[in-house]
């Protein structure tokens, strides 16, 4: 079984930084893309940032220049450094990864989510 466990969320004031982490564990032979999504109350889940196994990243326009995604392949971990946080960044943040655990293909996994609340 594969698990993704997020950490690092919390309640912060606008302008403050937070760093989210997501560690994958279990039977893992290879991890392809990893990413962060978020879902605000009453809204659909949306992509925040994704990073390939080679380190190429893409971002939602709303976070470009403020958020940075990175990964440590040796630790099966992806990070999201969030700077200059705004109240509109308030959401539950979910980690996502494409992982090969021995089956015929890569499978998509999700973390349980971590709450980020930004007060004005």
pLDDT in tens, the chain (120 residues): 899 999 999 999 999 999 999 999 999 999 999 999 999 999 999 999 999 999 999 999 999 999 999 999 999 999 999 999 999 999 999 999 999 998 778 999 999 999 999 999
Residue 104 corresponds to which tokens in the numbers above? 């015929």
Q: What is the DSSP letter of 52?
A: -
What residue has token string 């080679």?
54
Q: Say if CB 60 and CB 43 are below 8 A apart.
A: no
Q: How many C-beta atoms lie closer than 10 Å to residue 49's C-beta? A: 23
- C-alpha pair distances (Å), 50 with each of 15, 16, 30, 42, 120: 23, 22, 16, 23, 27
Radius of gyration of the chain (CA): 14
């Amino acid at each position: 079984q594969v698990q993704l466990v997020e950490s690092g969320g919390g309640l912060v004031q606008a302008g403050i930084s937070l760093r989210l982490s997501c560690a994958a564990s279990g039977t893992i032979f290879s991890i392809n893309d990893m990413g962060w999504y978020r879902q605000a109350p009453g809204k659909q889940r949306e992509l925040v940032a994704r990073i390939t196994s080679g380190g190429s990243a893409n971002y939602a326009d709303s976070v470009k220049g403020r958020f940075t995604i990175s990964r440590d392949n040796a630790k099966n971990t992806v990070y999201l450094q969030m700077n200059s946080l705004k109240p509109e960044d308030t959401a539950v943040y979910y980690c996502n990864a494409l992982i090969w655990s021995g089956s015929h293909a890569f499978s998509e996994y999700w973390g349980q989510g971590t709450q980020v609340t930004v007060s004005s």
